[in-house]
A and B are shown apart, each in its own frame.
Chain A
Amino acid sequence: MPPISRGFHRRREPEPDQSRIPPGQYPTWDFPVLSAGPTPHTPTDGWTLRVDGAIDEVRQWTWDELLALPSETFTVDIHCVTKWTKLDTTWTGVSLDTLLGDVETEAEYVVAWCDGDYTTNVPLEDLLGGRAWIVYDYGGEPLEPEHGGPARLLVPHLYFWKSAKWVRALTLTLDDQPGFWESAGYHDYGDPWREQRYWGD
C-alpha cells in the first residue's frame, strides 16, 4: 500500500452514484484531451465518411449528407482506460444502425480509420442495436477538433479509445484486425465493466 498523501483528493463535486462507475475508475468533471498524435484540423468542405470493405457496395456521405441523416441527441457515460469516467455526456449524431442498416455483409468486425492515421477495431455487432454513433455535436455545440471534430465514432459501452476521433472510414472485415492501441498492449475488446484494459485481462 503506497503512503497516503494527507489531504490530497481528486477534485470533487457531489458524489455520483457509484453503480455507474466501472471498477478501477474515478469520476471526472472536466473533459481530458488525450490523443495518439497532433490534432488534425479537417475542414468539413471535402470531408467524407466511407463505409467499405467486405460489403455489397461502398457507401459514402459528404458532410452535408451526414447532417441530413436522421440524428439523435442522447446522454451517455464515458470511460477512459486511463481511469477517468465522465457521467452524463450529451452528444448529437447519427446512429450506426442508420449508416449500416442496409449493408449486406459477412463481416464480423470493423476497423475505424481516422485523420491522423489512428485506427481502432470493434466487433460489428457492438456498433449495432443502438450502441454506437457518428457524432458531431458535444454538449449542444459543434464538436471541437481536440475532442474529435468534425466527427468522431462514439461507442460508449467500450473504453473510450474505441470512440475514434476524426473518423473518416469504417471498413468491415472478416477477421479481427487490431488497431493502434490494440497492437500496443491494449485489450482487443475493451469492456470497462470487466476491466479489460490490457492484453490478457
Chain B
Amino acid sequence: MARAAVLGRLIGRLAWRTATVREVVAESEHAVTLVLDVTDWPGHRAGQHVDVRLTADDGYQAERSYSISSAPEADAIAITVERIEDGEVSPYFTDVIRPGDQFELRGPVGGHFTWSVSDGGPILLVGGGSGFAPLMAMLRHRAAQDSDVEVHALVSARTDADALYRDELAALGPAEGLHVAWTFTRGGPPGWTGYTRRVDAAMIAEVGPAPARAPRCFVCGPTPFVEWVTGLLVDAGHDPQHIHAERFGPTGGRA
C-alpha cells in the first residue's frame, strides 16, 4: 500500500445492527453476561469481538468493544461486561439494562485472534480478569463440537469472586484433553490448594504444553498482564509467531 490518504465508504458488512437483550446473567460479583439477539447476525469465530454503540435520548453516543464469549454454535451471542467504577458504559450494562432493551452492535471483527477446532491443537489459553471472555468462547466452541483437541487454560483473577465462568469451567472438566488451572493473586477460596501468585515462568512450565510441541498461544487481558505473559512465553521458547495477544488497558483519563 502506498503512502496515501484514501477516502473509504462504509461497507455494508460492518453496518450497525440492532441488538436486543434477551437475558442478563450475573457472572461474578462485578460482571454480567448479556445474551443478545442481533438482527441478521452473520455468525462468528471464537475469539472475535464486537463494537457496541449506545445512544442516549439527547443523541449522545458512546462506543465500546467487547469480546464475544459465546460459542459460534450458540443460538444467540453473548458478551461479558465487567463493572468499572465510575465507568460511563459498564455500569449501564451491569446495573440498568434489562431484557428487551436495545443498542447497536457491529461485527464480528478480528480474524487474527481466533481459533476453531479445525485449527487443531495443542493450544494454550491465558486470560487475566475479564480478558478470559474470548478464550471462553473458544472453550465453549470446543465443548459444542465435542472435541478432544488438547487445550491448556490458565485463568488469572484477583480472588475467587472475581473469576469469571468459574462454575462452567469447573463443569467442563475433567475432560479429555482439557486442562484448566487458576491462579488467585489475592488469595484463593477456603481450602484452595492451587496457585496464589502472579503468573511466572514456573507456572507457565507446569501448565504447559511444552514449547517443543509448538502450541498456539492466546493471551488476553490488561496490557501489563499480556506483555508480561507474552514475555514469559517467548523466554520459555515459544515461537512468537504462535503467540496471539489481545491487549486492553486503562481508560486513559476518561473515567
Q: Which A residues have a C-beta under 8 Å from some C-beta of B?
A: 2-11, 26, 30-34, 146, 183-185
Contact = CB atoms under 8 A, between A and B. Distances in A.
Interface residues of B, number: 24
Nearest to A28: B254
B174 interface: no
B253 A5 contact: no
A23 to B, nearest CB: 12
Contacts of A3: 18, 55, 102-104
Chain B CB within 10 Å — which of A6, A32, A146, A184 has the most? A6
Nearest to B255: A30
B96 A7 contact: yes
B252 A33 contact: yes
Contacts of A8: 54-56, 62, 92, 96, 103
A146 B18 CA distance: 36
Contacts of A10: 56, 60, 62, 88
B119 interface: no
Contacts of A185: 5
Contacts of A11: 88, 255
A178 to B, nearest CB: 10
Contact of B60 (A26, A30, A34): A26
Contacts of A7: 92, 96-97, 101
B58 interface: yes
B16 interface: yes
A117 to B, nearest CB: 16
B253 A2 contact: no
A30 B139 CA distance: 39
Given A30-B253, A33-B252, A4 B60 contact: no
